[in-house]
Structure 1
Amino acid sequence: MPQLTFWYEFASTYSYLSVMRIEKTAAAAGVDVTWRPFLLGPIFKSQGWTTSPFNVYPAKGRYMVRDITRIATQRGLTFRMPETFPANGLKAARLATLGVGDGWGPAFTRAVFEAQFAKGLDISSDDVLLEVLAELDLDGADAFTRANAPEVKERLRAATAEAQERGIFGAPSFTTADGELYWGDDRLDAALAHAAGAQAGASA
């Protein structure tokens, strides 16, 4: 099947929109998705930012909240901006990195994004993440222990480094097998179409 890599950051509001629709949309396009959690913090730091650009530019932040609210409403989603933004998504990203390898990464990712942007919860909290894991019938203590293993930490660092090498500067982003980069939830359909078309061209 054609392949698309989905790069997402847990603090990203627009990633929430893509997380909640990518599996169904990709299946309809006949494209297989690889989920890649990564961290935007190091990338922002390299650009001289110490926080989200939505905080650096308040007008942009206000627009983002209204924009996400409109889109979420159109898609039948709930959107609630958490009190702390951006959240520290390091623990969630490590757990998701573990989960991607174990097969529960997408379900965990959706549940964390719902906790954060549908319920307004603080996903940097161990209690919130443990509740998410419990809802998925996963052993939270075991998952936390394994997610903090050196090899999982290194996988997340490597994913973040690879994202930066690929020119990724925001989330959500999508990369195709032939190296095309698409940024933003509004580019998901174009990314899927390119992935499918590139595969068809390669097979012709």
Structure 2
Amino acid sequence: MARPSLEFWYEFASTYSYLSAMRIEALAEAAGVEIRWRPFLLGPIFAAQGWTTSPFNLYPAKGRYMWRDMQREAARLGLPCRQPDPFPQNGLLAARVALLGADHPWGPTFTKAVYRAEFGEGRPISDPATIRTVLADLGLDAEAILLRAGEEANKAALKARTEEAMARGIFGAPTFIAPDGEMFWGNDRLERALEWAARPEQGVPDAATA
């Protein structure tokens, strides 16, 4: 019998997506759930709301809290945490590459390596040299992958993926969507999302909330 799946919608500029990406596979394996990696872009979604940057920049107090929270959570998980400059980073190229690999074994590995470079080491992921180095360090053909990532078909696929996110009501990252369409937002809802996806009969209210 096929395992239930959970869609993991993430943006490379998203701090909390970093935390989720680094822990989702082990949690999903324990829950008996398959993860479907779904890179997309938050920029167009924010723009539709009139935002020109991250809400963590628009609201400085919220931003200061977020970085302190990131330090706490990263330390708890044994992950490095460093704020890249500038923030948010432009993750367009990384997203194009991740989209190519989303359904291949190297895709999740690439995604985690980019997040570690960005939020673990503070490296600029908008720089093609950073993405090229990440790919090469994984033993992949960096030049061939970057060439494919820049093809019009792949660019259009990422645009369509982002439009799908908007149509499905996604407004931030990370977002998790169960097979029955139930949506969970935020790193702190990852365990709950996996629990929901693994339920034998999705869409049936929990006993505690019925």
Does TM-score exceed 0.5, indicating one fold?
yes
2:181 to 150, 174, 179: 179
Between the aligned residues of both structures, percent identity stands at 58
Which consecutive unaligned segments of at least 5 residues does structure 1 have? none
SS at structure 2 position matched to 1:21:
helix
Structure 2 residue aligned with 1:112, among 114, 120, 125?
Answer: 114
Of Structure 1 and Structure 2, the greater helix share is in 1
How far residue 179 of structure 1 moved from its aligned partner, in angstroms, is 0.6
3-state secondary structure, aligned to 2:38: strand
Shift, 1:84, TM fit: 0.8
How many equivalent residue pairs? Answer: 200
Which residue of structure 1 lines up, in the alignment, with residue 24 of structure 2?
A: 22
* Corresponding residue SS for 1:36: strand
Aligned partner (choices 102, 105, 109) of residue 103 of structure 1: 105
> CA 1:147/1:101 → structure 2, altered by over 3 Å: closer, same or farther?
farther
- The alpha carbon displacement at 1:100 in A equals 1.3
Please state whether the residue corresponding to 1:20 is helix, strand or coil. Answer: helix
Q: Which residue of 2 aligns with 1:38?
A: 40
- Scaled by the length of structure 2, the TM-score of the pair is 0.93
Q: Report how far residue 63 of structure 1 moved.
A: 0.4
The alignment's TM-score, normalised by the length of structure 1, stands at 0.96
Pairing 1:201–2:201 present: yes
Aligned match for 2:95, one of 87, 93, 106: 93
Deviation, 1:151, is 1.7
Whole-angstrom distance in 1 between the partners of 2:141 and 2:197: 36
Distance 1:201 1:101, change over 3 A: closer
Alignment counterpart, residue 140 of structure 1, candidates 130, 139, 142: 142
Distance 2:105 2:137 in 1: 16
1:34 to partner: Cα distance? 0.2
Selected match of 2:157 from 125, 133, 155: 155
1:150 is displaced (CA, Å) by: 1.6
2:66 aligned with 1:55: no
What RMSD in Å do the two structures reach over aligned CA positions? 0.8
**How far does residue 104 in structure 1 lie from its aligned partner after superposition?**
1.3
Counterpart CA distance in 1 for 2:201 and 2:183 is 18
Q: How far apart are 1:168 and its partner, in Å?
A: 0.6
Q: 1:154, 1:93 → 2: CA distance?
A: 12
1:61 CA drift (Å): 0.4
For residues 74 and 104 of structure 1, the distance between their equivalents in structure 2, rounded to whole angstroms, comes to 27
* Distance in 2 (alpha carbons) for counterparts of 1:161 and 1:190: 26
Give the secondary structure class of the aligned counterpart of 2:7.
strand
Alpha-carbon distance in 2 for matches of 1:41, 1:20: 23
Q: CA deviation at 1:173?
A: 0.3
* CA–CA distance in structure 2, aligned partners of residues 102 and 73 of structure 1: 30
Secondary structure of residue in 2 paired with 1:121: coil
Which residue is equivalent to 2:8? Answer: 6
Superposed CA offset, 1:127-164 (max 9, x none): 11111000111111111100111221121111111111
Moved over 6 A (4+): none
